[in-house]
A = this chain, B = another copy of it.
Amino acid sequence: MKAYKELSREELLALKEELEKEYQAQKDLGMKLDISRGKPSKEQLDLAMPMMDVLSSTDILECENGTDIRNYGLLDGIPEAKKLMGDVMGVDASQVIVGGNSSLNMMYDCVARSVLFGVMGSTPWSQLDKVKFLCPVPGYDRHFAVTEQFGFELISIPMTKDGPDMDMVEKYVNEDAAVKGIWCVPVYSNPGGAVYSDETVKRFAALKPAAEDFRIYWDNAYVIHHLDKDSHASILNILEECEKAGNPDLVYQFCSTSKVSFAGAGIAAMSASPANIADVKSKMKWQTIGPDKINQLRHVKFFKDINGMREHMERHASILRPKFELVLSMLENELGEAQIASWSHPVGGYFVSFDAMEGCAKEIVAKCKEAGLVMTGAGAAFPYGKDPKDSNIRIAPTMPPMEELEPALKLFTTCVKLTSVEKLLEQ
Contacts and interface: CB of A to CB of B under 8 A. Distances in A.
Contacts of A208: none
Interface in A289-303: 289-295
B293 A264 contact: yes
Contacts of A262: 70-71, 294
Please report whether the interface of chain A is mostly helix, strand, loop or mixed according to DSSP.
loop
Contacts of A292: 100-101, 264-265, 292, 295
Contact of A288 (B57, B108, B265, B289): B108
A146 interface: yes
Contacts of A73: 264
Interface stretch (A25-33, A44-52, A244-252, A418-426): A44-52
Contacts of A283: 149
A72 B39 contact: yes
Interface of A: 37, 39-40, 42, 45, 48-53, 55-57, 59, 61, 68-74, 100-102, 104-105, 108, 112, 115-117, 124, 126-127, 142, 145-146, 149-150, 258, 262-265, 283, 286-295
Interface centre among A49, A71, A108 (most CB of B within 10 A): A71
Given A115-B116, A116-B115, A283-B149, A57 B68 contact: no
A341 to B, nearest CB: 29
18 contacts: A39-B72, A40-B71, A45-B70, A50-B57, A52-B56, A69-B265, A70-B263, A71-B262, A71-B263, A71-B264, A73-B264, A104-B288, A108-B286, A116-B150, A126-B127, A145-B286, A264-B290, A264-B293
A53 B49 contact: no
B116 A287 contact: no
Given A289-B102, A292-B264, A42 B68 contact: yes
Nearest to A74: B264
A92 B116 CA distance: 34
A105 B288 contact: yes
Contacts of A286: 108, 142, 145-146, 149
Contacts of A295: 265, 292, 295
Contacts of A40: 71
B57 A52 contact: yes
B265 A70 contact: yes
Interface centre among A71, A73, A108, A264 (most CB of B within 10 A): A264
A39 B264 contact: no
A371 to B, nearest CB: 24
Given A116-B115, A286-B145, A294 B264 contact: yes
